[in-house]
Amino acid sequence: MTEHITTVAGVAVDTRHWIGGERVASVETFTDVSPIDGSTLGEISRGTATEAAAAVAAARAAFPAWAATSRAERARILHAIADGVEKRIEDLANVETLDNGALLRSHRRGVMPRVAHNFRFFADWLLKLEHEDFASRGHTNHVSWDPAGPCVLITPWNAPLMLATWKVAPALAAGNTVILKPAEWSPLTASLLADIAAEAGLPAGVLNVVQGYGTEVGNALVSHPDVRRISFTGSVPTAQHIARAAAANLTPLSLELGGKSPLLVFADADLDLAVDLAVEQYDNAGQVCLAATRILVEEAVSDEFTRRFVEKASRLRQGDPRDEGTDLGPNIHPRQLEKIDGFVRRALDDGARAVIGGKRKDALYYEPTLLTDVAQDSEIVQEEVFGPVLTLQTFGDEEEAVRFANDTRFGLAATLVTGDHERAKRVTARLVAGTVWVNCFFVRDLQAPFGGSRHSGVGREGGTWSFDFYCDVKNTVTAP
């Protein structure tokens, strides 16, 4: 044990950066606090422009050799990282739950196995990534995916390792080197990932992890001229800042941002399914970018829907996210709770009615809330709350449903519940959303494109879309 190791849930976590295959400490630190009980989890190195420059230099130095490593070898190492993740699922799940307050059972059984899968999927996809050559006027065209260079990956706290590895895995598979900056509210599992990758044989400098605040080390990373890709998941204002920084160097960027997604329930829907999907929107205490937080119900079934929703939602158990029986854990931070409460207070002052919830509980818990009597142009309908707060509006016909659904500045996802396949096709065609779920929610295959329209994002990742983003795609034309 050294002063740079903190023990969280019995797991030793290094609180320093991981740069060029070495642990590097900053002079300053920041305190990482658990949202479960406010306990201090560690004093984490607080990176500055110096560490950002060192990490980019390390990524640059490691790039030529990693880019020249065969696809088969890169894939082998990615599978070895997946093996390492699988061996440490318990550690990762426990540490991440203490760090961000999300449910231990879903970390254990859902998230961490998916983290391993992220590495396996992109390793395998790399091996089959091929365009067919084609002839044109006697010349052959051959498309290849050339690694782009050092990539900066910046991630939020709501699903730290899952969101990080959606980026890290394809970026590494593509032959790039990476600088990952996790969110300052949940820095720990990224540090464990660095250990796992090193043990799996990933060469020094190929994956670097820097810790610290977005406005400090994050800003220095996205402004660095040697960075060849920026992939960011987070809020719209930060994305706007990053886009301005990227513009100075013309760094290509991918932005996965917030949402205010609708859940449309038509009168012909299976209402039990609709209620199940609606209540599911409280998962992760509402801290899910894809959450369908605007429930739009056809007038004819709205009373019955509401009755069944209240019955089901009132059975949700809020409590310690480490307990198997808990459905909703705490929100991440006092600042986030203030923000959530502010949205709800203003909506109530504006004439909204709380069908359930509407106030904070002890510590960082907020009651699962459903607000009705809300106007389409009100703040609570238009802005992302990022807490367990849903609104309910009714619509008269399909036309009005589509109008309400599309009437925000976002376009991340939409869910519709209907028994009529023709209606599903008609409505889906008119929705502005990167993903539409029909009679289901949150089902994602990594082959599929993922991303948002309008203020929900720029670009798509997943399958070949990820390689298109993380590579300089090259076409070679050869004369006969």
Interface ranges with ligand NAD (CB under 6 A): 154-158, 163, 181, 183-184, 213-215, 218-219, 222, 233-235, 238, 241-242, 256-259, 289, 384, 386, 412, 452, 457
Residue where the block lists tokens 């409460």: 341
**Given 256, 367, 384, 461, the catalytic residue:** 256
Smallest gap from Cβ 451 to ligand NAD, in A, equals 7
Q: How far apart are CA 283 and CA 103, in angstroms?
A: 9
DSSP string, 52-70: HHHHHHHHHHHHHHHHHS-
DSSP string, 148-197: --EEEEE--SSSHHHHHHHHHHHHHHTT-EEEEE--TTS-HHHHHHHHHH
Amino acid at residue number 294: R
Please identify, using beta-carbon distances, which residue of 266 and 386 lies nearer to ligand NAD: 386
Please identify, using beta-carbon distances, which residue of 258 and 463 lies nearer to ligand NAD: 258
Q: How far apart are CA 430 and CA 174, in angstroms?
A: 35
Smallest gap from Cβ 452 to ligand NAD, in A, equals 6
**Dihedrals φ, ψ of 297, to 5°?**
-120, 135
Please identify, using beta-carbon distances, which residue of 184 and 195 lies nearer to ligand NAD: 184
Nearest by Cα to 22 from 62, 78, 49: 62
Smallest gap from Cβ 216 to ligand NAD, in A, equals 9
Smallest gap from Cβ 114 to ligand NAD, in A, equals 14
Please identify, using beta-carbon distances, which residue of 230 and 271 lies nearer to ligand NAD: 230
Q: Which residues of 394-428 are buried (b: 16+ CB within 10 A; e: fewer)?
A: bbeebeebbebbbebebbbbbbbbbeeeebbeebe
Smallest gap from Cβ 152 to ligand NAD, in A, equals 8
Residue 360 DSSP code: B
Q: Establish whether 299 is a catalytic residue.
A: no
Joined tokens for residue 185 = 């509210």
The set of residues, in sequence order, having a beta carbon less than 8 Å from that of 233 and lying 6+ positions away, is 154, 155, 156, 163, 167, 255, 256, 257, 289
Stated length of the chain: 480
Please identify, using beta-carbon distances, which residue of 281 and 306 lies nearer to ligand NAD: 281
Please identify, using beta-carbon distances, which residue of 242 and 371 lies nearer to ligand NAD: 242
Please identify, using beta-carbon distances, which residue of 80 and 178 lies nearer to ligand NAD: 178
Q: How far apart are CA 188 and CA 42, in angstroms?
A: 9
Residue where the block lists tokens 């990282």: 81
Smallest gap from Cβ 427 to ligand NAD, in A, equals 22
Integer distance in angstroms from the first to the last C-alpha of the chain? 65
The set of residues, in sequence order, having a beta carbon less than 8 Å from that of 478 and lying 6+ positions away, is 139, 140, 142
Please identify, using beta-carbon distances, which residue of 246 and 424 lies nearer to ligand NAD: 246
**Dihedrals φ, ψ of 335, to 5°?**
-65, -40
| Residue showing the smallest CB distance to ligand NAD in the complex | 214
Smallest gap from Cβ 59 to ligand NAD, in A, equals 16
Smallest gap from Cβ 184 to ligand NAD, in A, equals 5
Catalytic residues: 256
